[in-house]
Amino acid sequence: MQLHYAYILKQLLPLTLHGVGESAEIELETGVKTKLGSNNIDILLRAESPEGNTLIAIEMKCYRTIAASGGTRGAHDIFMKDIYEDLHILEEYVANGQASRGVALVMNDSERFVNPKVKNGKCWAYDVSQGTTFPGGQISVPIGGKNVQINLLNTYTFEWTKFGGLWFMELEGNRPFT
């Protein structure tokens, strides 16, 4: 998914450059050091212009109900938690000066994430359903038998858009992680 999206961005970037001295490039899996250790930014967009430079870190998540093996995929709780972890790391990239902005792009093919019939279970501490607003703060609900500690400064509202049989969401925070 990352490679496909990066390829599309690479093809469209020249259409966004209009002035003398403007340039933009895409990097995949750029390695960076964070407070949590080493990490790879899924896609890093580097843009330069006479007005200044911009680095946009993009983290991507995809959940398909059928795994590559053909079997039904589980671990929906891990997927939900991972979205929040991506938001946390994006805030950290901005705080560390490794990115000017952070964007999370999320895709799934399961209506239960978007419009759940019920919200039972600890995974709903990581609610990603349509219209949910997380005001920032700390979540420390274990998932998959592992302790989790996520702190977000930004407020995020989860707004999904359906296209065909897939749901898409873009999340962006504007305050750096401290």
Q: CA–CA distance from 32 to each of 28, 81, 97, 137, 147 (Å)?
A: 12, 22, 11, 25, 24
130 domain-assigned: yes
Q: What pLDDT, on the 0 to 100 scale, is given for residue 174?
A: 58
d(CA 83, CA 168): 13
Q: What is the pLDDT of residue 166?
A: 95
Task: Look at residue 8 and tell me if it is in a domain.
Answer: yes
> What does the block give as tokens for 73?
């995929």
Question: For residue 166, what is the enclosing H or E element?
Answer: strand 166-173
30: number of Cβ within 10 Å: 18
Q: What is the pLDDT of residue 178?
A: 40
Q: Which domain holds residue 150?
A: 2-173
Does residue 178 lie within any of the structural domains?
no
| Nearest residue to 76 (alpha-carbon basis) of 48, 41, 108 | 108
**Assigned domain for 51 exists:** yes
**CA 137 to each of CA 9, 91, 98, 134, 146: distance values in angstroms, whole numbers, following the listed order:** 33, 13, 22, 8, 20
Q: For residues 178 and 175, what is the distance between their CA atoms, to the nearest angstrom? A: 9
Tell me the per-residue pLDDT of 47-67, one tens digit each, with 9 for 90 and over: 998 888 999 999 999 998 887
* pTM for the full predicted model: 0.89
Based on the structure, what is the number of domains in the chain? 1
**14 belongs to a structural domain:** yes
Residue in 87, 81, 83 with CA at minimum distance from that of residue 99 = 87
Q: With a cut of 50, which residues of the chain have pLDDT below it?
A: 176-178
DSSP state for residue 73 in the 8-state scheme = P
Give the pLDDT score at 175: 53
Q: What is the pLDDT of residues 147-159, one digit of tens each?
A: 999 999 999 999 9
Which residue type, as a one-letter code, is found at position 4? H
